[in-house]
Amino acid sequence: ERKTREPGVPSSLIKNIFRHYVKMPVAREAFRIVEKCSERYFKQLSSDLEAYTRHAGRKTVEMADLEVLMRRQGLVTDKMPLHVLIEHHLPLEYRKLLIPVAVSGNKVIPCK
């Protein structure tokens, strides 16, 4: 009989992100703890976003829900807006998807 697993963040992705910021070798036991903490964090993040969305009377999570959550966590403040966090922590290809940019021909991407 096969065990069913809940979908989650791939272990390889967590490992790559963690190694990028740690910049030194990580023991397997330590990585397992990081992986468990990341899984719990994303589960809590998801349930909080669902609660904010339901409270607003919607069925779709929007950027505003995420910004409210990040404000409550103290990540986004008046001195550190969301777009600054995006610019500091995400590669250019993801920044282009999240922050509107004017391009030639008076077009703004991404379109809303």
CATH code for the domain of 77? 1.10.20.10
Query: Which residues sit opposite 109 in a β-bridge?
Result: 101
Is 49 within a domain? yes
Is 105 within a domain? no
Question: Where does residue 23 fall: left (phi above 0), alpha (psi -120 to 50 degrees), or beta otherwise?
Answer: left
pLDDT at residue number 72: 92
Per-residue pLDDT reduced to its tens digit, 15-72: 888 888 888 888 999 999 999 999 898 899 999 999 999 999 999 999 889 889 999 9
Structural domain count of the chain: 1
Q: Work out the pLDDT band at 112, boundaries 50, 70, 90.
A: low
CA pair distance 4, 112, nearest whole angstrom: 38
Q: Which whole-number Å values give the CA distances from 92 to 16, 86, 87, 111, in the listed order?
A: 18, 9, 8, 17
Is 50 within a domain? yes
Is 93 within a domain? yes
The domain containing residue 18 runs over which residues?
Answer: 11-98
Supply the angle between the helices 28-55 and 63-72 in degrees, to the nearest 10: 120
pLDDT at residue number 57: 94
Is 79 within a domain? yes
Is 54 within a domain? yes
Q: Would the pTM count as exceeding 0.85?
A: no
How many whole angstroms from its chain centre is CA 81? 15
Show the tokens assigned to 39: 């899984």
Residues 6+ apart with CB under 8 A from 104: none
Q: Please check the confidence at residue 1 and state whether its pLDDT lies above 80.
A: no
pLDDT at residue number 3: 67
